[in-house]
Amino acid sequence: MSAEMLSIGVLAKRSGVAASALRFYEDAGLIRSTRSAGGQRQYPREVLRRVAFVRVAQTVGLSLDDIRAALASLPQQRTPSPEDWQRLSTAWQPMLDQKIAQLKALRDQLSACIGCGCLSLERCALYNPGDVAQQRGSGPRYLLGDKPVQAR
């Protein structure tokens, strides 16, 4: 194997990502490998940065589809440059701000819910009699910011 190519075991060790996850990333089109004469996966050293990019993007809550789209926007499957990262991270900021707001609302509602012990279904922000919240759309409507009175 050339000095510029990494086996899946070396890539797993260097990146801190399990070999099974690397195979999954490859199947998902996030990274690429070539095969040795014996059929073993070999990765160019630059894949370390792509794997780091995937891990950071997952950590901030991006889906694999979002990550795949971001990596597909790079010419010739190259590794993201600092300029690429700036462009992509700026584009993700509104989505991240929304997720942060949702998590704060969830945190605040859960502490209130725990505080009351859910003894009053009349005041509980999560109580959804007759599944009326489904009229507002899918997902946890009240945790997404809908008020119970909006669904009635």
Summarised one tens digit per residue, pLDDT across range 61-93 is 889 998 999 888 887 777 788 888 888 889 889
Q: Residue 18: its pLDDT value, please?
A: 96
Q: Measured between alpha carbons, how far is residue 19 from residues 11, 34, 87, 99, 123 in Å?
A: 8, 15, 30, 30, 49
Q: Residue 79: its pLDDT value, please?
A: 79
> H/E element holding 5?
strand 5-7
CA 105 to centroid of chain Cα atoms: 20
**84 Cβ neighbours under 8 A, 6+ residues apart:** 74
Supply the CATH classification number for the domain 1-80: 1.10.1660.10
Q: Residue 151: its pLDDT value, please?
A: 45
Show the tokens assigned to 59: 């950590």
Kindly list the averaged pLDDT for each block of 10 residues, start to end, along the chain of length 152. 80 96 94 91 92 90 90 81 87 89 79 56 60 76 69 46
Domain layout of the chain by residue ranges? 1-80, 93-152
